[in-house]
A and B are shown apart, each in its own frame.
Chain A
Amino acid sequence: MIVDLARFVETERPHWVALEKSLDWLAAAPSRRLTIEEAQRFHELYQRTAADLARMSGFAAEGELRRYLEWLVSRAYSEIHETRERKRFRPWRLFTVEFPRAFRRHLRAFQLTVALTVLGVAFGGLAVEFDPEAKGIIMPFEGLQITPSERVAKELKDQGRHLTGVKGRFSAMLMTHNTQVALTTIALGASFGFGTVVVLFYNGVTMGAVIYDYVRDGQSTFLMGWLLPHGVIEIPAILVGGQAGLVIAYALIGWGSRLSRTERLRRVSRDVMTLAAGTAIMLIWAGLVESFLSQYHEPVIRYGWKIGFGLVEATLLTLFLARAGRGEDAAA
């Protein structure tokens, strides 16, 4: 028991104040580092305050003082016992090196997203083939309710005039909407992946219905010219979002892992962040392309150019995801 509490506080208070000042200094900027001497002093102050807290622990009356010391010790503890490497936030490196590396680390999850989407595409195509009413349910979009031939004729006549003066707005709307969908797909990983699987499959169903509808109506060239320029980035972006969702789901379920759920999630959190950031950037690009290129058809822009542009993008994206940051893979 501390017999003279007043003296105890008077003696120890300067050390608590010094520790609090150091903690506030560290808190003011996440990137701050202590020198060796400062770290030694910081450690001494932490140990002294922790010892004071231990002395106070059997002293029920001074709740306020104990809470104050607990708060100081908890803050200092988080600084002293943290062993994880603190990486600097470098956005360019995050996208060009860490994103493709994270993508490759979780390639199986990506393959699963592709399989789920392909399954959805097959289902959507079959639904439109065997049930004429399915189109209205699967594709509840005004522009897709008319036959593909009617739409192509309309686009030929309009020559992209409907977007005059609203291209920017349309582009921003696409970016925000698609990013919301992709990020929700990632977040749904917290439902043990169930929500992510449903979203991926449903996306596939819609795509399958649209593709089948246009191909059956003999409008494959129009379809490729319309979808490829933005779709080759937008669809993989949604798949990468699904991949991040499945990574979360896998960490939650933890098949065959002896690590705790908290530790499993902690280990994948950086990759989830990286994949989410990569998804968002891809969708910004896709939104710009969809608004400023995809919505223009022949005779404004020839289909061959648009298809060619889409294929070049697809090749570059594949190379980027497959090869970027490989040197660091080897070093790791």
Chain B
Amino acid sequence: MTGTNTLVIRTPEGVEFGLPLAGPFSRMLAYSIDLAVIVALGRLLQQLVQPLRFFGEDLSTALITAFYFAISLIYMSLAEWFWRGQSVGKRVLGLRVVEASGLRLELPQVIVRNLMRFIDALPALYLVGAVTCALNRRRQRLGDLVAGTVVIRTPKLAGPNLDELRGSKYNSLAEQRHLAARLRQKVAPEVARLAFEAVLRREELGPASRLALFHELADYFRGLVAYPPEIVEQLSDEQYVRGVVDVLFTRAR
């Protein structure tokens, strides 16, 4: 494991992948949603049992008490088992319980981690669980420690958005084919990669750093290939570098 919020697993094939760990706050929110679901299920049950009042108040109250207890006891386990580590709350917040070694979650693990809620909830408001979770590098509460599980974040992931580089906008640098070819020939791979990353990460930079970085890169590229002034004079440093990256990475075919 590296850092404090990623579980890193290395497969026998030598491939490493990281699972982003969920923090105590998002888990608490997910559990609040699940509590609301349990209460809603209890209410629903109450409505379903209403007709049994005909056979006596005692029977219907006993059934409500017993079933409500059963729901609160098994809801999390059933949900996490059938939805492979997710309950309603975890689905809403994009969390999932997984085996700490990255393997498949087994039924006994699901049951044991939820059984341990009795101690994690002590003395009140999941204090034991929250403290254990905050102190643990893998963000595990006691139940996770005993069951060998972790809770990870599973944001809906889509493929990369390459529109920035696909040349969806007009690129005057690419139109000068002989100069573009020279540019591709002269730019070193490591500089190309640096420029590519600068374009993709530009929103993460502060305004001053962003101006300085693109100014430096643009100067470097201008020094390699001299484009006619009428083509590039209207371009800012950043537009110039984006044009170069577009030429280098997406117009080579």
Question: What is the interface of chain A, defined by CB distance below 8 A to chain B?
Answer: 1, 3-7, 9, 13, 16, 27, 30, 47, 50-51, 53-54, 57, 59-62, 64-65, 67-71, 73-74, 77-79, 81-82, 84, 86-87, 89, 165-169, 171-173, 175-176, 179-180, 183-184, 186-191, 195, 248, 252, 262, 265-266, 269-270, 272-273, 276-277
Flag whether B17 is at the interface (Cβ < 8 A). Answer: yes
CB distance from B202 to the nearest CB of A (A): 11
Q: In angstroms, how far is the closest chain A Cβ from the Cβ of B55?
A: 10
Q: A30-B84, A50-B11, A269-B112 are in contact. Are A184 and B165 (CB under 8 A)?
A: no
Contacts of B65 in A (CB 8 A): 169, 172-173, 176
Q: Are the CB atoms of B69 and A167 closer together than 8 Å? A: no
Q: Report whether A276 and B115 are in contact in the complex, using a CB–CB cutoff of 8 Å.
A: yes
Q: Is the C-beta of B124 less than 8 angstroms from some C-beta in chain A?
A: no
Question: Are B159 and A71 interface neighbours, CB within 8 A?
Answer: no
Chain A residue nearest in CB terms to B165? A6
- Whether B103 and A78, one on each chain, are in contact in the complex, defined by CB atoms closer than 8 angstroms, is yes
Query: Given known contacts A50-B11, A82-B104, A168-B61, is B115 in contact with A16 (CB within 8 Å)?
Result: no
Interface flag for B16 (CB, 8 Å): yes
- Whether the pair B15, A78 counts as a contact (CB closer than 8 A) is no
Contacts of A1 in B (CB 8 A): 189, 193
**With an 8 A cutoff between CB atoms, is B224 at the interface?**
no
A50 to B13, CA, bound (A): 8
Contact, CB under 8 Å: A165 / B58 = yes
Chain A residue at minimum C-beta to C-beta distance from B112: A269
Q: List 18 A-B contacts (CB under 8 A).
A: A3-B252, A5-B165, A5-B250, A30-B82, A47-B13, A62-B200, A64-B158, A71-B17, A73-B15, A77-B9, A84-B106, A165-B58, A183-B118, A190-B145, A252-B146, A273-B115, A276-B111, A276-B115
Residues of the A chain whose Cβ atoms lie less than 8 Å from the Cβ of B158: 64, 68
Q: How far is the CB of A105 from chain B (nearest CB, A)?
A: 14
Bound form: Cα–Cα A270–B112 in Å: 9
B12 CB–A CB distance under 8 Å:
yes
In the complex, how many angstroms separate the beta carbon of A75 from the nearest chain B beta carbon? 9
A312 to B143, CA, bound (A): 38
Known: A6-B249, A70-B17, A86-B106. A61 touches B115 (CB 8 A): no
Number of residues on chain B facing chain A (CB within 8 A): 71
Question: In the complex, what distance in Å separates the CA atom of A176 from the CA atom of B145?
Answer: 26
Q: A9-B160, A78-B98 are in contact. Are A73 and B11 (CB under 8 A)?
A: yes
Report whether A74 and B102 are in contact in the complex, using a CB–CB cutoff of 8 Å: yes
- B99 / chain A contacts, CB cutoff of 8 Å: 78
What residues of chain A lie closer than 8 Å to B19, measured between beta carbons? 70, 74
- Output the least CB separation between A12 and chain B (Å): 9
A167 touches B58 (CB 8 A): yes
Secondary structure type dominating chain A contacts: helix
Q: Which residue of B lies closest to A167 (CB)?
A: B58
A4 to B83, CA, bound (A): 38
* B189 and A81 contact, CB distance less than 8 A: no
Q: Write the residues of chain B forming the contact surface with A, with a CB cutoff of 8 angstroms.
A: 9, 11-20, 56-59, 61-63, 65-66, 69, 73, 81-84, 98-104, 106-109, 111-112, 115-120, 142-143, 145-148, 154, 157-162, 165-166, 189, 192-193, 196-197, 200-201, 249-250, 252-253
| CB closest chain-B residue, reference A176 | B69
Which residues of chain A are near B250, meaning CB under 8 Å? 4-6
Whether B196 contacts A61 by the Cβ 8 Å rule is: yes
Q: In whole angstroms, how far apart are the Cα atoms of A189 and B63 in the complex?
A: 31
Neighbour of A9 across the interface among B66, B142, B159, B189, CB < 8 A: B159
Find out whether the CB atom of A166 lies under 8 angstroms from the CB atom of B253.
Answer: no
Contact (A4, B252) CB under 8 Å given A60-B197, A77-B9, A169-B58: yes
B9 near A180 with CB under 8 A, answer no
Does the CB pair A184–B119 fall under 8 Å? yes
Beyond A4-B249, A71-B17, A168-B59, 13 additional contacts (C-beta under 8 Å) are A1-B189, A5-B196, A6-B250, A9-B159, A50-B11, A54-B15, A69-B17, A74-B9, A165-B58, A168-B58, A187-B118, A190-B142, A269-B108
**Contact of B116 with A27 in the complex, beta carbons under 8 Å:** no
Q: Which of B20, B106, B147 has the most CB of A within 10 A?
A: B106
- Give A86 to B73 CA distance when docked, in angstroms: 24
Select which of B61, B84, B106, B146 is within 8 A of A265 by beta carbon. Answer: B146
Least distance between A112 CB and chain B CB atoms (Å): 19
B15 near A179 (CB under 8 angstroms)?
A: no
A273:B107 contact, CB within 8 angstroms: yes
Contact present for B249 and A5 (CB under 8 Å): yes
Instruction: Give every chain B residue within 8 A of A3 (Cβ-Cβ).
Output: 189, 192, 249, 252
Q: Are A172 and B62 in contact (CB under 8 A)?
A: yes
Q: In the bound complex, do residue A54 and residue B14 qualify as a contact, i.e. CB atoms below 8 Å apart?
A: yes
Report the minimum CB–CB distance from A22 to chain B (whole Å). 14
Closest residue of chain A to B85 (Cβ to Cβ) is A27
Contact of B160 among A68, A168, A188 (CB under 8 A): A68
Interchain CA distance A260-B186 in the complex, whole Å: 55
